Amino acid sequence: MTVEFRVWAPAARRVSLRVGADTVPMTRAGQWFVASAEAGHGTDYGFVLDDESTPLPDPRSRWQPSGVHGLSRVYDHSRHRWGDAAWTGRQLPGSVVYELHVGTFTPEGTFDAAAARLPYLSELGVDLIELLPVNTFNGEWNWGYDGVGWHAVQESYGGPDGLKRFVDAAHRAGLGVIIDAVYNHFGPSGAYAPRFGPYLSGGANTWGRSLNLDEADSGEVRRFVIDSALQWLRDYHADGLRLDAVHALVDRGATHLLEELAVEVDALSAALGRPLSLIAESDLNDAKLVTAREGGGYGLHAQWDDDVHHALHALLTGERQGYYGDFGSPACFAAVWTSAFWHAGTWSSFRRRVHGRPVDRSRIPGHRFVVCLQNHDQIGNRAVGDRLTASLSPGLLRVAATLLLTSPFTPMLFMGEEFAARTPWQFFTSHPEPALAAAVADGRRSEFAEHGWLSDDVPDPQDPATFERSKLDWSARDESMLDLYRTLIRLRKSVPDLADPRLDRVRVVHDEGVLLIERGARTVVANLTKNPRTVPLSAGRILFTTDEAAFLQSGSATLPAESALIL
């Protein structure tokens, strides 16, 4: 069949299409070059710029079977026969999210192997699966944040067909799929898009050159991002996107890229007849991201809330290094549980400046904030990638789960958390270039030194053993912990007060290691101390407890050490 090939290359004098064994001159059409050629599904192709001899992969490639440095391959989306015609989607409010990394969720590390675990996730009670980035990166294993092909799917996971099979199977199991999308930088190896045009600005962020969102010729760069986002939702039937580190998207235009994206995603949602969610990761502590456009916001559906994680983690573990320095007090817990942010126009000692702004609790519901006890960052960015199971007692792990799953926010679990996994989740890469591999390893050691961790403790990201250690050990499941998570998720969905997102209706009282949280007609009590505590309470009955030794008597409840209950 005849296929039209197009590539944006505004500064090129000429571009040729290399398709199969043929070289076809391309015709300039404004800033684009266009050519038609006979090419069916599975045909390899690339673009040759000016006087170069080596063809480069298509910046908008849908398929990179030979890796990020290889030729692109024609991919026909219509070949897949979807089986999810009855799928009506999953809205974010009321949902429980489960974050997983395809490469380490199962021993095989593929979409098909992950799909075999979908009945387990369905039984657990989660609603949405959030996949760490699945677009193409250099090498065989990676967290995914070094992606360079923003329109293609990593081949070692199963490629585009594998992702479609996974999403199809998830929908048939009643589970939605969110894809983590990284648009704030290109990875350090295999990023050929900037060879074609001004995809990058003159500025930089933590990970390298920033994307060109507001400088000359930025219109096509913005379109490049939006088209990538829409294809995950439209062509792969995903139910939402988690947008990585949006604070690094520098856009000084009148309409921010995030707002423009939200408008187009809402339009696609209306056309498809199912909810589509945009979830931002942001370090700004600014609810403008999730404020409706009618109210002057960007209209995203939710944002990650690190303050809730930090408040819980520091309170339960006692850690105060790095950005945990301002967190950990019961007053901090009470503030984030009722107001979402701790830094809300207040001093941040880690940043050494005032940070954040208050959330309008009467207008913005808690479900717009995705919160967790653990996630890929908060585990993987520790020196040895240790989970909470390495620092908390079984009792406090149960208390933590109870607090998370009775919160007014959207709770998210990290793979294996629900069965008290002890396998670490470490930072791993497989860069083929020795110099790049060494630079990444040195950078990690320097970063951890700033947090007080010794460089000798930091595993080599390039060592295959680092990747293998990070795979879940399904044979070491704590079944009692798994039962607790299943019970708490079921309660959250069956007792409306426990999922009520109205922040202005949450009340927190704390006293000497005991937290009392009023959730409508329900009360959550947590004893964080190593001693039994008796707490004055009005009449009620125990709906749930992490320790069967808890009991009620006239006007009070007695909780064993490190336990929680729901009245």
- Name which of 374, 394, 398, 396 is nearest 386 in CA terms: 374
Those residues whose C-beta lies under 8 Å from the C-beta of residue 27, and which sit 6 or more positions away, are: 33, 34, 35
Cα–Cα distance measured from residue 67 to residue 155, given in angstroms and rounded to the nearest whole number: 7
Q: Which run of H or E residues covers position 44?
A: strand 44-49
In three-state secondary structure terms, 292 is coil
- Phi first, then psi, for residue 46 (nearest 5°) are -160, 175
Query: Residue 447 burial by CB count (10 A; 0-12/13-18/19+): exposed, middle or buried?
Result: middle
Q: HSE on the CB side for 278, CA within 13 Å?
A: 28
In three-state secondary structure terms, 547 is coil
Cα–Cα distance measured from residue 97 to residue 305, given in angstroms and rounded to the nearest whole number: 14
Distances from the Cα of 327 to the Cα of 73, 224, 488, angstroms? 50, 39, 26
Residue of 281, 307, 417, 460 marked active site: 281
Cα–Cα distance measured from residue 559 to residue 552, given in angstroms and rounded to the nearest whole number: 9
Those residues whose C-beta lies under 8 Å from the C-beta of residue 87, and which sit 6 or more positions away, are: 171, 172, 237, 274
Local structure of residue 490 (DSSP, 8 states): H
Beta strands 200-205; 135-137: pairing state: unpaired
Cα–Cα distance measured from residue 541 to residue 532, given in angstroms and rounded to the nearest whole number: 19
Rg (CA), the chain: 25
Contact 340, 308 (CB under 8 A): yes
Q: HSE on the CB side for 551, CA within 13 Å?
A: 3
Residue of 44, 99, 168, 244 marked active site: 244
In three-state secondary structure terms, 444 is helix
Sheet of 44-49: strand order equals 22-25, 15-19, 44-49, 72-73
- Name which of 120, 117, 155, 115 is nearest 136 in CA terms: 155
> Does the annotation mark 281 as catalytic?
yes
Cα–Cα distance measured from residue 10 to residue 32, given in angstroms and rounded to the nearest whole number: 7
Contact 37, 2 (CB under 8 A): yes
Those residues whose C-beta lies under 8 Å from the C-beta of residue 543, and which sit 6 or more positions away, are: 491, 495, 522, 565, 566, 567
Tokens, residue 482? 């798994």
> Does the annotation mark 326 as catalytic?
no
The alpha carbon of 166 is separated from its chain's Cα centroid by a whole number of angstroms, namely 18
- Phi first, then psi, for residue 21 (nearest 5°) are -95, 5
- Name which of 461, 468, 466, 471 is nearest 145 in CA terms: 461
- Please give the positions annotated as active site: 244, 281
